[in-house]
Amino acid sequence: MSELPFLVTIWLFLIGLYGIATSRNTIHLVSCLFVAQSSTYLLLLSVGYRAHGSAPILSGIPPGAQPVDPVVQSLALTDIVVGATVSALILIFALQSHKRSGTQDPRRTPPMRG
């Protein structure tokens, strides 16, 4: 298998973290978190990928066809569900903090230091 998916995984993860580190907008920050998360989907799917494999629906496939690994697909699905929960929650925090402080810039509000 090619190395490309792994390189893209690393790139997505790092670019997501770069976005969080430099973000000046909370909504943007949360979106960067999801960019980093998408790297995990890519890694999981590429781990189970099989060239010319069929979809892992075992009832209707022709004999001899090789399906891709269904386990990683279900892992990615679970991950998406969990990710949706987390993202909803973090977006609420971001919105609420915008309401409270009137700014979306995470570096504008005076934080609790030390």
Partner 1 sequence: MEQLAPLPVVIPLIMAALSVLVEKLPGKHRLLDLLGLGTVGTVLAIDLKLVGLSFEKTLVYWFGGWLPRNGFPLGIAFAIDPAAAGLAGFAALLTLLGLIFSWHYFRSIGSHYHCLMLLFLGSMQGFCLTGDLFNLFVFFELMGVAAYALTGYKIEDTGPLEGALNFAVLNSIGAFLVLLGLGMIYSRTGGLNLAWIGTQCASQGADLTLQAAFMLLCIGFLVKAAVIPFHFWLPDAHAVAPTPASLLFSGIMVELGIYAVARCYWTLLADQEAVSWMGTLFLSLGLATALLGAGMAFVQRHLKRLLAYSTVSHSGMMLAAFALADPGALGGFFLYLFGHGFVKGGLFIATGIVLHRLKSVDEDQLRGRGRELWLTGPLFCLGGLVLAGVPPFGTWVGKALIEQRAEALGYPLVTPVLLISSALTGAAVLRAGLGIFYGAGSPNFLSACAPATGDQELPETAKALDRTPFVMALPLCLLFAAALGTGAFEELSRRVLLASARFCHSEGYRLAVLAGRAGAVTPLPLPQLEWQKGLLSGAAALAAALLALFGLPLPAWLQRPYKQFFQGVLRVLRTLHSGYVGDYVIWFLLGSAALLLATWVNSGL
Neighbour count for residue 8 (Cβ, 10 Å): 15
CA separation for the pair 31, 64 (Å, rounded): 42
Place of tokens 């890694």: 43
Give the interface size with partner 1 as a residue count (CB under 8 A): 41
- Taking the complex as a whole, the smallest distance from the CB of residue 52 to partner 1 amounts, in Å, to 19
* 104 touches partner 1 by CB under 8 A: no
Q: Which stretch binds partner 1 (CB under 8 A): 50-58, 59-67, 91-99?
A: 91-99
End-to-end alpha-carbon separation of the chain, Å? 48
Return the number of the residue (62 or 114) whose C-beta is nearest partner 1. 114
Separation of CA 109 from chain center: 27
CA quadruple 58, 49, 76, 32: dihedral, nearest 10: -150
Contact set with partner 1 (CB under 8 A): 9, 13-14, 17, 20-23, 26, 29, 33, 36-37, 39-40, 43-44, 47, 71-72, 75, 78-79, 82, 85-86, 89-90, 93-94, 96-97, 100-101, 106-107, 109, 111-114
